[in-house]
Amino acid sequence: MSILFRKILLLDGTAQNLVEGELLVQDGVIADFGQNLGRPDGAEIIEAEGAILCPGLVDMRASLGEPGFEYRETIASAAQAAAASGITSIAVLPDSAPPIDDPALVHLIIARGLETGSVSLLPYAAATRGLKGEELAEYGLLRAAGAVAFTDGGQCIASSRLMRLALSYASGFGARIVQHPEDYELAKGGAATAGARATWMGLPGIPAAAEAICVARDIRLAELTGGAVHFAHITTGEALDLIRVAKDKGLRVTCDTAPPYFDLNETAIGDYRTYSKLSPPLRAEDDRLAVLAGLADGTIDAIASDHQPRDADDKRLPFADAAPGGAGLATLLGITLAQVQNGALTMPQALALLTKKPAEWLGIEAGVIERGRPADLCLFHPERSWFVQAGKLPGKAQNTPFDGRALEGVVLGTWKAGTRVFAA
């Protein structure tokens, strides 16, 4: 079956330009793109004037709940949310029950992704057995099974000695360690960023410096070992300054952030709003602006959804006791596009951070429009608006910190290997 997209804007293969043109899909791959391609016999014609066709979004970090926490989210419900959001590849955190620290579970996650027919699942494996931070997992076997990197998910690898061993061991298999950058002792028991707001609300605080302290330690360990470290959901200007210096020195250091950290600040937790309780916590406005600057200047390598499904019982608790985490799949594109609309990013910059850059980091054949590549595609209209409503999002997880927000950027269709998996 052939599909011809016409009267659209295309994100080109460099992910640096939007060009008006046409794109032809045949047998599940991108056959051609450009101007005046003609109409192959029997081709389905899709015209969407004013819409943008880009590669399917690549989400480089999400928790899916399955196995073990199906009451929060399942792979099937996450796949539904991903398709409705233009996402065709997801890197899955190992924070399931049991954790992904066994090759059989790596194989299972990959297979379950294939079963959905709409999203590729790329499993992270646990950096330490059982995510306990006590001894390393079997990196060689896990890597051979298909693990894309190693992480303890939302838990910091607290031991300097263990982190040094992890970096050295992973390097031998050409893999990275993904760190939740938060000094364990400083963050323990905290619920919000330490400062006037947390004090006024009577909440135990986590110093913003807890992030930079962990980042500084792990950069030094990466330098010592020659290993590669990736810092997840960076939230502070101080940490970004350290990462810039490390990159300038040529160290194997990368990082990402998530939409709450460049769109919201700590005022979003007002009235003890547990949907805005995240890990790391929301920061001060200066840090939010620093994260936006890091996206614009290339210090931050990608934007991830940081999808952390929680159910009502997880959130209907006093703020200090509520589980941290926010649903992120449905709002990944819209919140990122908001930064284009306010002038902080260009459209090509924003889309590259959601497609080409995370795909390159993960080492997968996705994220670019090139002839011969699988036709994983997202068609969206950047000027059509929608409202974020908890309870009406696609998928099972509804715990969004953006509840009630008006956004522009409506996904019109998503294609996986040339098959339409979502239609608005």
* CATH number of the domain encompassing residue 200: 3.20.20.140
Q: How far apart are CA 52 and CA 412, in angstroms?
A: 10
How many separate domains does the chain show? 2
Q: What is the pLDDT of residue 287?
A: 98
In sequence order, what are the beta bridge partners of 387?
406
The span from the CA of 383 to the CA of 410, in Å, is 8
Domain end point (choices 310, 338, 362): 362
Q: Give which of 145, 111, 58 is closest to 373, Cα–Cα.
A: 58
Q: Is residue 368 part of a domain?
A: no
* Tally of residues, the chain: 424
CB 279 within 8 A of CB 154: yes
> Pick from 362, 386, 414: which residue ends a domain?
362
Give the domain range for residue 408.
2-52+374-423
With tokens 């200090």, the residue in question is: 320
Question: Is 306 annotated as catalytic?
Answer: yes
Instruction: Clarify whether residues 382 and 307 are in a common domain.
Output: no
pTM to 2 decimal places: 0.96
Q: Provide the CATH number for the domain around residue 389.
A: 2.30.40.10
> Would the pLDDT of 43 be above 70?
yes
| CA dihedral angle for residue 48, residue 51, residue 52, residue 56, rounded to 10 degrees | -70
| Given 95, 287, 301, 306, the catalytic residue | 306
Helices 347-354 and 332-341 meet at what angle, rounded to 10?
A: 160
In a domain, 174, yes or no: yes
Q: Is residue 367 part of a domain?
A: no
Residues 6+ apart with CB under 8 A from 127: 136, 137, 150, 151, 152, 157, 166, 170, 177, 178
The confidence score (pLDDT) of residue 36 equals: 86
pLDDT in tens, 317-354: 999 999 999 999 999 999 999 999 999 999 999 999 99
In terms of domains, do 327 and 418 share one?
no
**Mean pLDDT to the nearest integer, 395-408:** 97
State whether 112 and 158 are in the same domain: yes
Greater pLDDT, 38 or 22: 22
Note whether 84 and 29 are same-domain residues.
no
Identify whether residues 205 and 217 lie together within a single domain: yes
* Proportion of the chain in helix, strand, coil states, percent, rounded to 5: 35, 25, 40
Residue 15: per-residue pLDDT:
67
